[in-house]
Structures are given as structure tokens and as C-alpha cells.
Structure 1
């Protein structure tokens, strides 16, 4: 029997890693979905003019014709038909609807692996594959097929993956060695005390030094980083599991359901129960 054939027959095909391809396990995180898609929409907006928008979720905007834009922190980003614009959560923006144009949007939450280093809108040029997926999404609305939510869900995720695949690696957050174990500890112990004094003591640094480290590399204080992560994971659990609100609150380190509801309401403008109903 040829040696190569013998090796193939003896291989354990239960192992997905053949060593012939590229191991992408580190890019898949803990196995959670890369994106929680919350909404996809398409309209011919007649008056797309809003000021002072700041959302906890992320946005993708695409216009099929030129004319409109978004503005953030003094800079304007044109929504031309050959680009999409990504707007990370918490970034303030104004929408400038000078014309009535066909407009598609996706509201979503990325997993931690997809967090961007930028604190501004990001303009991403589209390619043929991305344009095709965007057009397929538009066609679902044009042809009245919006009840096919599974198809819309997968197409929305396809668009997000295609867009994020076009970003340079420098666009994603890269944390220093001093910060990585702290973030990993937070990920593993979300149900425990993650106050700034506790984190500082565990990692042998002052509260001031810890806060400086977080501000420099995440743009957030330690307490805000933890709170945002807890709310983001709560949104994922509310949308994807049947856990009770009490169970989610306890698992993610909120002292009780009522405190969890107040924090959730403050960030999203609605309570956990209302949010869950909107996802079903």
C-alpha cells in the first residue's frame, strides 16, 4: 500500500486539525457567535436627519446611491455606493440625509475578537462579494421576502464577515502583555468581584496605574470596561438562551435582577425583558 494512502487511512478524522490547512481556532474565540445581529433594515429615507445619536450597539450603513453621509466628532463620512461605514458602539454621530436614497443598515454586536481600536466611524471599501451580499439583502425587502428571517440573518452575518475580513490587522485592538492577563481574568470571572480596587490588588498595581492602563488601551475605565462587557454578554444571552433574567444577572456578576435591569435600561433605553421580546 502506498505510504501516503496508509497515512490517510490511519488519520483520526475526529480531529478537525489536519495540519495541512491553517488553524483558525484562535480566531474563533470560545465558540460563541462572532456577531449578534439585532436588526437589518432597508428604506428609501426621505428625511434621514438625526443629531446626537449614541448607541450601545454597533451599526453598519450602506447606501446604494451617493448623496448622504454621517458626521462624527467634526469629520464627515460619505455613504457612497462603493463603501460601507461601520460605527462602533458609543461613537456619537449625526446623520445627514440630503437626498432620498436606498439605504440599508445592520445593527449588531461583535464578539471581543472583532473589537476595533478606532473610536470613530470606519469607511470600508466593498468588493464584488460584499456588493453581491448587500444586493441580496436589499432584494429580500424589494421582493417582499422579509418573513424569511433565517435567510436575512445569515446574509447579514455574511455581509459583516466580508466587511471585517477587509480590515487590516492593525484595525483591531492589540493589548500589551501587562493588560492581557487582566482581561482574561475578567472574562473568566464575570460573576465575581471585579471592582477596580480588587483588580488592582490581584495584579499588583495601584488603582491609578490600572486605570491609566485601561484608559490608554481600551479607552475606558476598568469599571466601565467590565460594565460594558457584562451588558454585551447579557444581550447575547437574552437573545440566544432561555436563561431567566435572574440567572443571567447572577452569572454576570450583577447583585440582583433589579440592579441588572437599571444598568441595562441606562445603556440600552429598555429593560432586559423588553429587549428579549424584541429578539424573539
Structure 2
């Protein structure tokens, strides 16, 4: 029984969350088919089941993970007395598929007997966002960020040895990413500082970011700031000035110009448009 299944409109050919869902299967129920979606990552949240691919059957329990890739012939069924619960996130795009192929999952298709609590939290966050997403809001930005976080986590925890032989490089990029995520509100947060923290030149950081995330460091920083601003406009009563102050803009006009350039809409109008859509949905 499907608890929910959310499908999203295609907006990116580099990295895109296509769908999210949760299903409860009872003993004997399941599926057998050839996968047509680019990639669908599942995590078991309760009960037990089997997953068969390439004539190999895996017995899965809570915390175990299995990956479906396009062209695979798969079977998965519930086996225990209690319902088998799992969640999934489907994704596509040249960068997203490239990232998942860097992991051992792309060869082994399962993660067994591992601590996947962080992975579950990442998938859960994506599903929550996907369920509240509308084509007009900014959740597509956050969804892409969350997808990159998920893929980055997988590449670090389950990477193929041949992909990144220099472990220091992976750590350096993680340091830069954490610097942006933790300090994006500060006006002192810059690409130059991130490069220094990552112990590489600005051009090296740019190339690494483009390769890993499909976006430049400055674009990633802008995405974080604008996504935060949009969420504040939608879900709080803060003034434009207050949001500008929180993001450490010297004057609110500079913030309004940056927001308008990013969304093609001034902050005040963006808030009005969101409230109008919500009012229509509640009628």
C-alpha cells in the first residue's frame, strides 16, 4: 500500500529529484519489473523483505538500502509477519547519475548492516520538501541542494576506491561545503575564504565544485542565501529589512536587487504572490 508518492516536474537536466514515496508491503506482496527510471534509492524503515537482482537475492531489514538503476531487472517482496516499510527518492540528470556511479552502490546495489541513520534523515528531508513543493515556489532550489547533500554523503561513505585516490581532496571539498552551509548569512563569507579553508586556489575550488555539484562556489552560496530569504518571506512575518539584516546586507535595497535578479520578482511581490496562491488553494 502506497502511503504517498510524489512526482515532480522536470526542471533540470543536470540534477533533479523526480519523485519521492513511502510504501507498506504485506507478506507475499511485491514487484517484478525492468527499471525504466534513471535511479531510485530505497531505504527500509520497518519489517523485512527480499531484493533480487542479477540472480542474487538479498534479505533486507530496517536500515538496509537498495538502489534501482535504469535497465535492471529486479524483484522485491515483503517476507515478514509485520509489514515491510520503505521510502524512496528517484533522481536523474547527468551530474546526479555521474555522482551515484562513483559509489559502491552502483556496482553492489545494496547497503547491508550499516548505520544509515544519516542517510535516512537526508532522504526524509527530501520527501518532506517534495510533498510541499509547487512549481511556483523555491523548493526546487532546496531539493537540488538536498539531493547534492545526499549524493555527496553517499560518495564519501561508500565511494569506489578508484574514484578519488587522494583522500585529502575529498576532505578539503567537504570543509569548503561546510563553511558555506554554516556561514552563508555572513557578509564575510566569500569564495576566497572557502578556497583558503579548502587549501586550494580559487580556480581549483571552482573546478572541483563544478565537477562535484554542477555549480560554481559563488552560485552555490547565492542559492543558499536566496533559498533562505524566500523561506523567510513565505513562512514568517519578518520585514524585508529584517531579512536583509539577517543576511548581512548593508542596505535593504541591495538585498532587494539581488532577490529580484534571482527570482525575477521583488521580495514584497514574492510574498504577496505566495499568500495569494495559498489563499486560492484553501478555497
TM-score range relative to shorter protein: 0.3 to 0.5
TM-score computed with the length of structure 1 as normaliser: 0.43
TM-score computed with the length of structure 2 as normaliser: 0.43
